[in-house]
Amino acid sequence: MSRAEGGDGTVKSPRGGPHVIHDVLGIGFGPSNLALAIAVEEHNAQLPEDQRLNARFLERQPRFGWHRGMLIDDATMQVSFLKDLVTMRNPTSDFSFLCYLRERGRLVDFLNQKTLFPLRVEFHDYFEWAAARVGHLVDYSSEVLSVETVRDEDGDISHLDVTCRDEADPTRTVVHRARNISMAVGLEPHLPPGTELSERVWHNSQLMPRVAELQASGTPLRRAVVLGAGQSAAEAVDYLHRAFPEAEICAVFAKYGYTPADDSPFANRIFDPEAVDVYFRAPSEVKQSLVDYHRSTNYSVVDMDLIEALYATAYREKVQGHERLRFLNVSRIRDVNVLDDGLDVTVEFLPTGERQTLGADLLVHATGYRSQDIGTLLGESAKYCLRDDGDAVRVGRDHRVEVAPEVTAGIYLQGGTEHTHGLTSTLLSTTAIRAGEIHDSLVARLGVH
């Protein structure tokens, strides 16, 4: 297929010729935009070619991947398999987790487990299975570099030009033009101020590949320190303790102990699709109250089974007189000194101010993630996005950013909308529903059926 190339090395629209305008262009291809791609695929399958949505998705990774660094072999999902990519939107879809199990030959085996929560590695394989089925809509190794506005003959901003690296030649760039974009760029690791990642200082998102490298090198691990009090922190502590049977693993957190996640039926209603409507319409002070009341469903909390397992391990070691698992509670890391052969990690016990320095080979920051500001990627285009009194981006119920009057192009957000849509903004719970809502909004605005 021919490409139109400018003198600056920029390639115009590599799919469908130089004049293709995409109805929707997805930036990022994790579960959120994957769910949207499936919604588009199912929509198009029912229509003649001239009525189908022209969709494309750009992903900087060379293949589909979702939190690969935390795919611990025995870790389970914290969300029901029924909240997969499609079931909440379309229970009859053949992109469901159950259809995946049937194709893999494990449907009966899975049902015999009597569980709603699959292994994380299995759910990731489900995502990869679904992503492969819509692979014709995706350009991998296509890192988005910029988004620029395009004005029509009336002076309105009717399109957006998205520049990304050419997957065939990373030294060149490709420009895609779109009527709408769906931004699902995911979360970025959050680190304490001044932290620099290195061979000895990791974020937990790197855990699995870094552990594999360490084991392959044969380098002994005497002591590892894990900072954090959430699920990922507890999983990292447990995994390191099992992976390095001679090492001491120290968990450092400001709480007195791990807090159990509240997954009770009434609390879980905060993740219901109807809860998004309630949250969206609520005054700002009520929104904040809802987040505060239900923070224990998601933030800095741990599954009770894992809490009990870690406590049992620590107690067993105390009985045996060989304590490898240590919990430094009500404490914070105050300083990290990088040495030639390790780290000196200074930990303060907050009630007394007493400090101790731990000689360590490894420090893992299980300190969570944060949403990326859309201004970073949108650049100059971000000035057309309206903001509220708190300088947060204003977003409509259909997940479309509210923009200046002269902008007719659509910018949809999948994530980074907790201030407007509630706790599910960055979670899997309403992924299928959100994809359906964005799809319906696109169809209505484009006037297709």
The string of pLDDT tens digits covering residues 159-206 is: 999 999 998 898 999 999 999 999 998 888 999 999 999 999 999 999
Examine the pLDDT at 351 and tell me if it is beyond 50.
Answer: yes
Examine the pLDDT at 101 and tell me if it is beyond 60.
Answer: yes
pLDDT digits (tens, 9 = 90+) for 208-240: 999 999 999 999 999 999 999 999 999 999 999
pLDDT digits (tens, 9 = 90+) for 386-433: 999 889 999 999 999 999 999 999 999 999 999 999 998 888 999 999
For residue 17 the two structure tokens come to: 């010729």
For residues 77 and 67, is the Cβ–Cβ distance under 8 A? Answer: no
Q: If you average pLDDT over residues 238-255, what whole number do you get?
A: 97
pLDDT of 168 reads: 87
State the Cα torsion 311-316-320-324 to the nearest 10°.
Answer: -40
Q: Which residues contact 109 (CB under 8 A, 6 or more apart)?
A: none
Q: If you average pLDDT over residues 94-107, what whole number do you get?
A: 98
pLDDT of 2 reads: 27
pLDDT of 217 reads: 93
CB atoms within 10 A of CB 188: 14
Examine the pLDDT at 128 and tell me if it is beyond 70.
Answer: yes
pLDDT of 239 reads: 98
Side chain identity at 194, as an amino acid letter?
A: G
For residues 194 and 201, is the Cβ–Cβ distance under 8 A? Answer: no
Q: What is the mean pLDDT of the chain?
A: 93
pLDDT of 427 reads: 87
As a whole number of Å, the CA-based R_g of the chain is 24
Give the angle 309-310-312 at the CA atoms, nearest 5°.
65
pLDDT of 299 reads: 84
At which residue do the structure tokens 């920029």 appear? 10
Q: If you average pLDDT over residues 74-82, what whole number do you get?
A: 94
Q: If you average pLDDT over residues 50-59, what whole number do you get?
A: 94
For the packed helices 207-217 and 231-243, what is the interaxial angle rounded to 10 degrees? 20
For residue 3 the two structure tokens come to: 């490409």
Q: If you average pLDDT over residues 32-38, what whole number do you get?
A: 98
Strand 173-178 and strand 10-12: the pairing is parallel
For residues 117 and 80, is the Cβ–Cβ distance under 8 A? Answer: yes
Examine the pLDDT at 14 and tell me if it is beyond 60.
Answer: no
pLDDT of 4 reads: 37
Percentage of the chain exceeding pLDDT 70: 95
Examine the pLDDT at 384 and tell me if it is beyond 90.
Answer: yes
Percentage of the chain exceeding pLDDT 90: 85
pLDDT of 109 reads: 98
Closest by CA position to 434, among listed 445, 420, 424, 447: 424
Closest by CA position to 261, among listed 241, 221, 227, 232: 232
Q: If you average pLDDT over residues 97-119, what whole number do you get?
A: 97
pLDDT of 449 reads: 58
pLDDT of 13 reads: 45
Give the C-alpha separation, 39 to 440, whole Å: 9
